[in-house]
Amino acid sequence: MKNIIIIIAVILLGLTSNTFAQPGKTKADFTLPAGFKYSVIGKSLNRARHIVVNSNGDVYVKLARPRGGKGIIRLQDKNKDGIVDDTTGFGDYGGTGITIKNGYLYASSNTTVYRYKINNNEPDTAHPQIIVSGLIDAGTHNTKSLVLDNAGNIYVTIGAPSNICQAEDRKTGAPGQDPCPLLEKTGGIWQFKADKENQTYSDGVRYATGIRNTVGLDWNTSTNTLFAMQHGRDGLQDYHFFPDSVSVELPAEEMLEVKKPGDNFGWPYCFYNQLAGKKMVNPEYGGDGKATGRCEGVAAPAAAYPGHMAPNGLLFYTGNQFPAKYKNGAFIAFHGSWNRAPLTQKGFFVAFQPFRDGKPSGAYEVFASGFAGKDNITAPGQAMYRPCGLAQGPDGSLYVTDDAKGNVWRINFTGNKKG
Amino acid sequence: MKIVLVSLLLTLLGSSLIAQTKTTVKRPAVKSSSNSTSLRASLTRGKTVYAANCLACHQADGSGVPNLNPPLIQTSWVLGSKVVLVNQVLNGSKGKVEIDGDRFENAMPPQAHLSDQQIADVLTYVRNSFGNKAAVVTAMEVKSARAKRK
C-alpha cells in the first residue's frame, strides 16, 4: 500500500515537473520539481564525495582519492557571474568528510580529521591541524563523515568494517559474533572537541552505537540533535524469509535521530523492517524474519526508506531561496543500490523528506532524479552519475556531488513561490 | 617512405589476421562438435552457478560494484592464471583487494562448498562472458588446486 502511494506520488510529481535538458552536455537530463533548474559547476573532478560552500560562495569538494596530489578541490566564481572561473586544490589525502564551522574548514581522510583556519575566505592550507587521528580504516565502511554542533563538538562517523559482524564476513548462514567486538571502536558515531588538537579514541565519546555505517549526517539546528543516515545490511534476501519483491526492499535505510549520548540503534543484532514498522532480529543472531526478541525497545528510526539505496548525503535545508515547504526539511542523496538482484537497482536520486515540528512528516519525495542516465539498470556501474554529497550555498542554492564521474551541480529555484 | 609504411601496414594486417585465425582455432567452441557441446553445457551450468553464488555482488553484467566488489570484465585476475582464479573462489578474500589499480573493499566469502565441476563451470562461464575470452577451466584443474590447498 505504501509503495502504491509512493508510485502515485512519483507519477504526480512527474506530471507537474519540468525536465531541463542540458544542451550538448550529457545524456542525463535531471528531473526537478516545477520552478527549479540546475547547472553544472564542476565536471569530471573524479570521485567527488562531500561538499561544503563557504559564506562567500567558494565551493570545497572532498575527493575520495587525491587528483594530482590534491584531495580537496576549490571551485571559485571570482567575477560572480554564476560560472566557476577558478579551480584549485590542496590536501594530499583522499577521504569523504568536509565541513566549515566557526572560521575553520574541517576535512577527513579515512583515519584522520584535519582543520584549516580560514582567514579572509582563504583556508591556511600550509598549516593543517590534526584534530583526531588513529581512527580505524579496515577497508569496508572506512569513510569518516563530519559535522559540528553549536556547542564546540565535532561528530565523526566510524563505520563497522563488516556486513553483519559474522566471524566469516558475508558468508550466508555463518553465525554473528555475540557480543560483536567491532562495536568497541567502530559501528557508531564519535564525538570529539572541535578545537582540540591530536585527539584519538580515548579523548572521544561514543555518541551513538549500533550503527553499521553512516555516510550522510547533519546537525539539525531546529531540534538541536544529530541526524544520521544508516546504510542497512546486505544479503538479508539470501535467507528467503520473504518473496524477492519484498526481500529486496529490506532492511530499511534508516534516518536516525540521536537524542542522547550513547543511543544504540541495534546493529548487528537487529534490522529495521519498515513494512512491519519493527526492529527484528537478524538471522545471524537467530532471527527468522519475524522475531523481535532482543530488538524490542531498540530505538526506531525517525524515518525509513527502501533497502540498499545508500543514503550518502543528508542536509537540513535552512535557506530562504526555495519555497517554504523545504525549510527545515531534509534533502537526502541516495547513491543507488547494488544489492537488489534479481530485481533492478534503485536509488540514484536526491530525495526530499518533509519535516514538521522537528519530525519527519509524511512520505519522502523524489526531488532530483535521472542521475543514472537510464531506468531499470541492473548494476550500479551502469549509472552515469551517483549522487553523494549535499551542501547549501549562502544564497540558499542546493549543491549535489557525484562520485562516479566527479560532477558538481547547483540547483536553484527560479519559479514563482506564490504560484 | 610511403612504400615502407604500406608494407608495414600490410605486415601488421597480415600478422593480425594470423593472430585472429589462431585465436579462432584456439577457441574450444570450434575445436570439434563434441567439445562445442560440452562447452555449451558447461556455460549453461556455469551461468546457473553464477546466478546463485556470484551475481548479487559481481552483478548480472559482471561489472561489479565500484570500490566494493571487483568487476569480472577483462581484468588481469579473470583472464590470467587459472590457479590464482580457482584459489580465489575456494578461499575468498578479506577485502581490500587491488585489481588493475583499483581497490575493492568488501570481503568475499570462500566458495569451497561448490563442487569441482561447479567451480570449473562458473569460471568457464565468467572467462567466456561479459566480453571475456579465455581458456576453459576443467574440474580436474579445480581438483588439483583444491588438493594443493589442503
* Chain A neighbors of B106, CB-CB under 8 A: 139-140, 170
Whether A15 shows a pLDDT value over 70: the answer reads no
A180, A184, A187, A192 alpha-carbon torsion, rounded to 10°: 170
Give the pLDDT mean for A150-160: 98
Give the pLDDT mean for A26-36: 81
Q: What is the pLDDT of residues A367-414, one digit of tens each?
A: 999 999 999 999 999 999 999 999 999 999 999 999 999 999 999 999
Q: What is the pLDDT of residues B66-109, one digit of tens each?
A: 999 999 999 999 999 999 999 999 999 998 899 888 899 999 99
Whether A139 shows a pLDDT value over 90: the answer reads yes
Whether B15 shows a pLDDT value over 80: the answer reads no
pLDDT at B21: 40
Q: Where are the alpha helices (DSSP H) in A205-288?
A: 244-247
Closest CA to A379 of B100, B57, B59, B19: B59
Q: Which residue has the cell 510529481?
A: A13
Give the pLDDT mean for A72-97: 96
pLDDT band at B150 (very low <50, low <70, confident <90, very high): low
* Chain B neighbors of A141, CB-CB under 8 A: 105
Cα–Cα distance for residue pair B29/B37, rounded to 1 Å: 8
pLDDT at B32: 55
pLDDT at B33: 63
Whether A168 shows a pLDDT value over 50: the answer reads yes
- Compute the residue count for chain A: 419
Cα–Cα distance for residue pair B115/B112, rounded to 1 Å: 8
Q: CB distance from B71 to chain A under 8 Å? A: yes
Q: What is the pLDDT of residues A325-347, one digit of tens each?
A: 999 999 999 999 999 999 999 99
A238/B67 Cβ within 8 A: no
Q: CB distance from B52 to chain A under 8 Å? A: no
Give the pLDDT mean for A240-247: 95
**Angle (CA) A348 A353 A354, round 5°:** 155
- What is the three-class DSSP state of B42? helix
Whether A163 shows a pLDDT value over 80: the answer reads yes
Of B66, B105, B106, which has the smallest distance from its Cβ to A381's Cβ? B66
Q: Output A231 or A28, whichever has higher pLDDT.
A: A231
| Residue B76 CA, distance from chain mean position | 9
Residue B57 in contact with residue B89, Cβ under 8 Å? no
Whether A10 shows a pLDDT value over 70: the answer reads no
Cα–Cα distance for residue pair A335/A348, rounded to 1 Å: 5
End-to-end distance of chain B based on CA atoms, in angstroms? Answer: 62
DSSP A357-404: TTEE-S--EEEEB-TTSSSS-SSGGG-S--EEEEEE-TTS-EEEEESS
- Compute the residue count for chain B: 150
Widest CA span in chain B = 63
Query: Which of B50, B63, B99, B113 to mutate to test binding with chain A, by most A CBs within 10 Å of its CB?
Result: B63
pLDDT band at B36 (very low <50, low <70, confident <90, very high): confident
pLDDT at B35: 78
Q: Output B35 or A391, whichever has higher pLDDT.
A: A391
pLDDT at B13: 44
A64/B67 Cβ within 8 A: yes
Cα–Cα distance for residue pair B142/A218, rounded to 1 Å: 51
Whether A207 shows a pLDDT value over 50: the answer reads yes
Name the residue of chain B whose CA is nearest to A336's CA: B65
ipTM: 0.88
Q: What is the pLDDT of residues A264-313, one digit of tens each?
A: 999 999 999 999 999 999 999 999 999 999 999 999 999 999 999 999 99
Which residues lie across from A100 on neighbouring strands? A105
Percent of chain B with pLDDT over 70: 77
Rounded to the nearest integer, the mean pLDDT of chain A is 93
pLDDT at A315: 98
Whether B25 shows a pLDDT value over 80: the answer reads no
pLDDT at A30: 87
Whether A57 shows a pLDDT value over 50: the answer reads yes
pTM of this structure = 0.89
B110/A338 Cβ within 8 A: no
Q: Output A82 or A163, whichever has higher pLDDT.
A: A163
Name the residue of chain A whose CA is nearest to B108's CA: A170
Size of interface A-B (CB pairs under 8 A): 64
Residue A403 in contact with residue A384, Cβ under 8 Å? no
Whether A4 shows a pLDDT value over 80: the answer reads no
Q: Closest Cα of chain A to B118: distance in Å?
A: 18
Of B64, B105, B110, which has the smallest distance from its Cβ to A140's Cβ? B105
* Chain B neighbors of A172, CB-CB under 8 A: 109
Q: Which residue has the cell 610511403?
A: B2
Whether A87 shows a pLDDT value over 90: the answer reads yes
Query: Which of A65, A163, A170 to mutate to test binding with chain B, by most B CBs within 10 Å of its CB?
Result: A170
Cis peptide before A251 (omega within 30 of 0): yes
pLDDT at A17: 37
